[in-house]
A and B are shown apart, each in its own frame.
Chain A
């Protein structure tokens, strides 16, 4: 059965174009696990910075009185997609999976589909 490390590995191996993945606690900004990244792309920094994105969106939704939940957040750069997927479930409350994808190789629909499967292994 998949543990945290194999789940992150699966993100990179099963999802076309994926180059880095992290599981992040968005209340504290701490990455519980990271895989991939490089000298040029510090995944810890990306994880901490993206918690601000998630929190800002959650706060905006509160202000707007929206009762919905965020399923994912897509950030499109020139050559990359950054996909933030919030984990559901009792224990996963407050966590998101962060995925960096090469825009030329990635299939977003497939990536979402695969992520949904992988995250089910991490949910309580």
Chain B
């Protein structure tokens, strides 16, 4: 494996830093304002962001994997970075279904990390995600797809605040007459929840939820809630969290476990 240099740090944006790391064939975790990108031999193997529900939330909330099954896989496979393999080996999920869900979560998280393309904070060489290898995607594909998604969303309604801020319904907004998925999304808008929390509640991919939310915003039914003077316990705080600690995943698992009690 190539010895990792610090060339990535010279770049002004996370996407440029990723490009430099990809050219080196680097392995490790690059942290930015809105999440962490895990690389293996210069390819993206995982992305996590506090602005999207992670793979575990998607799989358990949709009912695809029972929470017990998920935690069993995390317990048994977590330390060896083989949680994905565990899920498949235990027969809870086919390998194909896991890959499809994993890619969905990867691109969802990458959208947030790269849509807000600021300077990366740090790179931890050799860091591996506990999920383990599922699929890898070239960096340029991730960067290109993220840009395309941003353009698609902006074409629907050019307000990026919809993606991260708590959302509120415009008075008199009614779900009647809306397509099923959009009205289901609208019913989740309560003045407190963010797009990520709505996606999690619906067990729906975040990008799909963002499309519906921006359409609702374009139709004048939903707006970003004005910043509350005394913010209620609305996590995650947009922009405030820096995900650069190796134990972030552990803390999130802990939080999810506590919530599940």
Contact = CB atoms under 8 A, between A and B. Distances in A.
Contacts, number: 76
Given A3-B99, A121-B97, A28 B145 contact: yes
A122 B96 contact: yes
B101 A91 contact: yes
A2 B62 contact: no
B95 interface: yes
A27 to B, nearest CB: 5
A95 B204 CA distance: 13
Contacts of A3: 94-96, 99
Given A27-B211, A28-B148, A28-B149, A121 B104 contact: no
B257 interface: no
**Residue of B58, B88, B104, B207 with most partner-chain A CB within 10 A:** B104
Interface size classification for chain A? 20 to 34
- Among A27, A92, A122, A124, the most chain B Cβ lie within 10 Å of the Cβ of A124
Nearest to A58: B179
A89 B58 CA distance: 13
Interface SS of chain A: helix, strand, loop or mixed? loop
Nearest to B64: A124
Contacts of B95: 1-4
A114 to B, nearest CB: 15
Interface in A22-40: 23, 25, 27-30, 32
Nearest to A94: B208
Nearest to A25: B104
B59 interface: yes
Interface in A94-124: 94-95, 121-124
B179 A62 contact: yes
Contacts of A94: 205, 208
